[in-house]
Structure 1
Amino acid sequence: MDLSTRKLNLITYLAQLQDENSFGKIEQYILHNQQLEKKADFKPFSIDELESSVKESEQDYTSGKFMNQDELEQTSEKW
């Protein structure tokens, strides 16, 4: 059975489910897994990475490599 068929079967099952408790458990399981996936994707910066980023930003500012708010908004309108 391919993934698309399995998804449709699950949707059908959920649509017919009448037990609030069972539905709540399934919902909590899905939400919990989504939160775990988000946490797994998050990798905090190390102190060295943060310091390097700050130095680079300061150099960019000093050399004039930055945009003010108006310039940024004009650029983002072109996206």
Structure 2
Amino acid sequence: MNLEARKIEFVQEFLKLQSEEAVSRLEKILRKEKQSDKERNIEPMTQDELDNRIDKSESDFINNRFKTSPELLAKYE
């Protein structure tokens, strides 16, 4: 059975479900899969992008453009 046929069969079975709990579990699985797909499609930085980010971070630190850990934690408490 090819993927398209399997998806159609799955949707047909899904539509027959009467349990809200089962639908919720399947929704959770679908959200998790979508998130995993996004994470798998993340492109790594090039060496130049990484170097530029490091340079900017060092510049921000030297010019006092940063927040300390306690400042960040206080913001979310």
Give the TM-score, by structure 2 length: 0.55
Indicate the RMSD between aligned Cα atoms, in angstroms.
1.9
Q: For residues 44 and 29 of structure 1, do their structure 2 counterparts lie closer, same or farther at Cα, with a shift above 3 Å needed?
A: same
1:7: which partner in 2? Answer: 7
Moved >6 Å (runs of 4+): none
Alpha-carbon shift at residue 15 of structure 1 (Å): 0.9
C-alpha separation in 1, matches of 2:39 and 2:11: 27
Structure 2's unaligned 5+ residue stretches are: 53-77
1:30: which partner in 2? Answer: 30
Q: For residues 40 and 3 of structure 1, do their structure 2 counterparts lie closer, same or farther at Cα, with a shift above 3 Å needed?
A: closer
Provide the identity percentage.
22
C-alpha separation in 2, matches of 1:33 and 1:2: 20
C-alpha separation in 1, matches of 2:45 and 2:35: 20
Q: Which segment drifts farther, 18-27 or 35-44?
A: 35-44
